[in-house]
Structure 1
Amino acid sequence: MENNKKGFIPVMLTPFKDNGEIDYNVLTELTEIYLEAGAAGLFANCLSSEMFELTDKERLEAIQHVIKVVNGKVPVVATGTFGGEINKQADFVKRVHDTGTDAVIMISSLLAEENETDAVFNDRVFKLLDLTPGIPLGFYECPVPYKRVLSADQLASFVKTGRVIYHKDTCLDIDQIKEKLKATEGFSAFGLYDAYMVHAVESLKAGSAGLSCIQGNYFPELIVWLCDNYNDASLQQEVQKVQQFLIDNMDVMHNVYPVVSKYFLQKRGLNISTFTRRKVGDFTQSITKEIEMLFTKYTSLQEELDLKYEF
């Protein structure tokens, strides 16, 4: 991806029926919403998708469904590592790749235990690469079961193989982001996508390929707008307003997520249940009021930006 052309990669939700089954009709609608908002790609079967609460069969079926709906319009990446022996993880990476994904994502915290060294982690990554020849891969610094952040040197060593094309970064540190970008310069097939919206604009200006954040599960069109306009000299006042809006509302969007984002999408007109399999806490009346206030604030921001987008 060209340095000045940035993309938003949504971390997809999994819609459920109230009885806990995956709601494939709503998954179709949600996928279309991401596409119509201008997403440059989709990250299926991720933490926002409640991937740890899905069976292997459900993971594969949901990925296949998304790929069918997308129909080649944008790339689709999806998680393929869920712990255990590297041979076992490699086998599932192959199964995920066989669904038609453009890259299979490795969860950094499931390739080595928290008390194991970077050397152990590196060895397992290279073994996984050897066991999955020809399959494009990526990393996600998922905070569950614990957060394992890659160093710039580590990331560079993996990217130099030509096999790692995607990285969802959750280090929350703009200086580390800049180090990773510098270490991976010149690899045009690789893109680092930042998850942390507090420094979204600075990250884009530093050279990130784009953004991959939960805020896109509230207002995907706003994150696309930011990726498109972050460097537009005539819109810097508006860009800073969007950046501040994301900072000011960070906490409310993370509280009992993804229940809150499903409720927000309900308010925007998507017929999605707030049911989640993941235990994230109680969706209290006070949290409901905060989300309704967020909805009001966002409606006002939409009008200011003349960002007309309806579900």
Structure 2
Amino acid sequence: MANFELKNIKGVIPALITPFDEHEEFDENRMRKLVNHLIERGMDGLYLTGSTGEGFLMTPEERKKVVEVVIDEVHGRIPVIVHVGAISTKISIDLAKHAYATGADAISSVPPFYWKFKEENIYKYYEAVSMSTPLPMIVYNVPLAGLLGFDFICRLANIPNVKGVKYTACTHQDIYKCKDKISQDFMVYSGADEMAVSGIINEADGIIGSFYSMMPDVFKDIYQKVKSGDIAGAQKKQKIAVDIIEASLKYDYYAVIKESLRWMGVDAGYVRAPFMNLSEEEIKKVKQSFKEIKAHYQVNDIEVLNACD
């Protein structure tokens, strides 16, 4: 049974990585430690088994196991949103029903991808998946799977259980337009890490991002500063976050996130192929880049940068 209503799921929500062991198997122990690490740092929710969680590299049964472990470890302390997206409507419905039975607070999904599905195919997909459980559905608008137009998002919002959107496009005017044109109760989550400040200013209810596992302190500070009116302070932290992200994107950045957590005392395991873990030489280069960012901005309050010393 869900513990939180969607209207109360706000704030900073990491798109959770999935720890794998040296043999590319899901590592339950590492996941439990990561969950507690993020809760201790004040995260407001978790978003599971999406692209950051390498969800599309796992079987449906593996995805279910991740959901079971995380919800068990969270134990109702913060909301849990489960990404159930797949190309197959049948698989997504199965994952959605499992999420509901396991105790998720909401589900989310990218549109079906790979084939260039028509708008009606996508509409029917969301209709079928969202109506398969009582949980609220958060539509996922992301370039990787194909962006949804604003008018189509408005159409999807007419499906009874579609209650929000994870908005990872850069057209942030559509964030406040969703609130104005659909409903103030339609939840909008900004999904572009590099544009967190903009998303919050444009009336996003929360922010969901890949690098929040790596920089929970930075994005929590950004969120709180914007909410308190300190836009200049928030933008300074955003610039630092962008530099860290750009340095990470030179590699398979899920591997950078996991490696950096290891520096901070949280063993987040390894990535699954075809992603590649960092070599020793690459680790040195990432650390050097982070040290240069720390020196450039003269900051001492960012955990991941301090961990490079």
Same topology, TM > 0.5: yes
Q: Distance in 1 between matches of 2:303 and 2:263?
A: 16
2:31 aligned residue: 27
Note if contact 2:13-2:47 (Cα within 8 Å) is conserved in structure 1: yes
Give the 3 Å change call, closer, same or farther, for CA 98–230 of structure 1 in structure 2: same
Counterpart for residue 284 of structure 2: 289
Stretch moving more, 61-70 or 235-244: 235-244
Residue 206 of structure 2: aligned partner: 210
Which one-letter code corresponds to 2:222 in the other structure?
Answer: L
Matches within 5 A, 1:1-311: 7-84=11-88, 86-110=89-113, 114-130=115-131, 132-143=132-143, 146-187=144-185, 190-233=186-229, 235-254=230-249, 255-273=251-269, 275-281=270-276, 283-284=278-279, 287-296=282-291, 304=299, 306=301
Structure 1 residue 268: deviation in Å?
1.3
Tell me which amino acid in the other structure corresponds to 1:127: A
Distance 1:16 1:305 in 2: 31
Are the structure 2 counterparts of residues 245 and 56 from structure 1 closer, same or farther at C-alpha, using a change threshold of 3 Å? same
Deviations along 1:167-214, one digit per CA (max 9) or x if unpaired, are 222212323434334333322xx3221121332212201101121111
- Residue-pair matches, total: 300
C-alpha distance in 2 between matches for 1:308 and 1:251: 18
- Give the C-alpha shift of residue 231 in structure 1: 3.7
1:35 Cα deviation after fit: 0.8
Contact 1:138 1:166 in 2 (8 A): yes
Deviation at 1:66, TM superposition (A): 0.6
Judged with a 3 Å threshold, the aligned counterparts in structure 2 of structure 1 residues 266 and 232 are, in CA distance, closer, same or farther, namely same
CA apart distance, 1:91: 2.9
Residues 5-50 of structure 1, C-alpha deviation per residue, up to 9 Å, x if partnerless?
9501111111122122222111111001111111111011111111
Partners of 1:32 and 1:286 in 2: CA distance: 30
Q: Which amino acid aligns with 2:52?
A: S
Shift of 1:216: 0.7
Contact 2:100 2:133 in 1 (8 A): no
Aligned-pair RMSD on alpha carbons? 3.0
Taking the aligned partners of 2:115 and 2:244, their CA distance within structure 1 comes to 31
Post-superposition offset of 1:301: 9.4
Report if the CA contact (8 A) 1:78-1:101 is conserved. Answer: yes
